[in-house]
Amino acid sequence: MTKIMGKSLLGRNVVSDRGTVIGKLVDLSVETVAGKVMMLIVKPDKSIETKYFRLNERNEILIPFTAVKAVKDVLIITDGGIPRA
């Protein structure tokens, strides 16, 4: 498995496996003891209705890392893995 620096992912688009642009990755939530990425923190695209997503206090979308299907020029997430509000 190829390792990727988390910092290099910031600013990339997050897209559902159905092709919907969710937004841009602004941060990662990491479990510090094991060093595991737990959540993607995404600034929502203007076209996204955020009331259907789990949000943090800054109205950013929280997506569990387990929803990530692929990491390329964009992060592709499985639409079924996104927790809804």
> pLDDT digits over 1-48, tens only?
456 666 778 999 999 999 999 999 999 998 988 888 899 999 999 999
Q: What is the pLDDT of residue 74?
A: 94
Q: What is the pLDDT of residue 35?
A: 81
Q: Count of alpha carbons within 13 Å of 74, Cβ hemisphere only? A: 14
Q: What is the pLDDT of residue 84?
A: 62
Q: What are phi and psi of 19, to 5 degrees?
A: 95, 5
- pTM of full prediction above 0.75: yes
Q: Which domains does the chain have, with CATH numbers?
A: 6-81 (2.30.30.240)
